[in-house]
Structure 1
Amino acid sequence: MKRTGMVRHIDSLGRIVLPSEMRKVLNIKEEQLLEISIEDQTIMLKKYDADRSCLLTGKITKHNKSYGNGKVVLSPEGAEQLLVELKQLLQEDATR
C-alpha cells in the first residue's frame, strides 16, 4: 500500500473529504460511487464496479436496476429512453 502523507479529520457525521488532487489523479467525479471494504484495521475505498452501469446511458447510480435476470442494467433515464423507443416500435408494427 502506498502512503500519500495526506491526513484528514472525520467530522461529527463520520465523513471525510478526499483531497481534490487525489480525486483528479484517480478520476473520481462528483456523485461517483465508491465501494468500501475492510481488511484487518485498514479501510479501503475502490471505484464502484462498472457492471452496474446503465446499458444505454453509461451512468452508474444507486437507482440503477437489473432486468432480464441481471443481464441488462438501466438507470432511470435509460429505462425511460428504452420505454419511449419500445412504444414507438410497437406503434410502427401495429400500423403495418
Structure 2
Amino acid sequence: MKYTGMTRPIDSLGRIVIPKEIRESMDYEIGGSVEFFLDYENNILSIKKHTGNTCKMCGSIKNLSKFKDSMICESCINEMKHGTFTIHTKKQQKSHTQLTIRKSRSSKEQQIEALKQIIKKKPNATQIEYAKLLGVGQSRISQLKKFMGKQ
C-alpha cells in the first residue's frame, strides 16, 4: 500500500471526498460504486472500485467467467486467446478525446492583432462580446488590453 500524504476531513454526514488525483489515477468515476474493506488489527479502511458482475475488460454482463478476483466475458477471453484484444482504460479514452477536441491556440501577438481588428470594427462592444468573437474568455480580453497598453 502506498502512502499519498493526502488527508481529507470527514464531514458532518460522515462523507469523505476522494481527491481528484487519486480518482483519475485509479479510474474511479463520479457516481461510481466502491467497496469497503476493514482490517481491524491494523486499523485500516480500504476502498476498492466496485465492478459488480460485469466483464472487467468491456463491461458486458453475458457469459462471465471468474479469473482471480475479476469477471471476464467469453468474448474478451476469445479475443485474448487470439491476440486481437487491446485494453483501453477510460483515462486513455478521455485523454484521446481531449486531444481531438482541443482547439489550436494562437500566440499572444496573434490574439492582440485580432483584438485590434475587432476593436476597429466594433469600438463600442463589451469585453464579453470581444471574447465571444475571439473565442476566448473575458479575462483573456482584459489581459490582452493590458498588453496592448504596454506596447
Query: Shorter-normalised TM-score: what interval?
Result: 0.5 to 0.7
| Matching residue of 1:12 | 12
Dislocated runs of 4+, deviation >2 Å: 52-56
Structure with greater proportional strand content: 1
1:44 aligned counterpart, secondary structure = strand
TM-score using structure 1 length: 0.52
Look up the equivalent residue of 1:2 and give its one-letter code. K
RMSD between superposed Cα atoms in Å? 1.8
| Matching residue of 1:55 | 61
Please report how far the alpha carbon of residue 54 of structure 1 lies from its aligned counterpart in structure 2 after TM superposition. 6.0
Q: Deviations over 1:24-71 (max 9, x none)?
A: 101100111100110121001000134156637xxxxxxxxxxxxxxx
> Percent identity between the aligned chains?
36
| Matching residue of 1:44 | 46
Q: Distance in 1 between matches of 2:52 and 2:13?
A: 28
TM-score using structure 2 length: 0.34
Q: Distance in 2 between matches of 1:47 and 1:55?
A: 17
Look up the equivalent residue of 2:6 and give its one-letter code. M
Higher relative contact order structure (alpha carbons within 8 Å, sequence separation ≥ 6): 1
Aligned positions, number: 56
| Matching residue of 2:28 | 28
Listed as ranges, the gaps of 5+ residues in structure 2 are 63-151
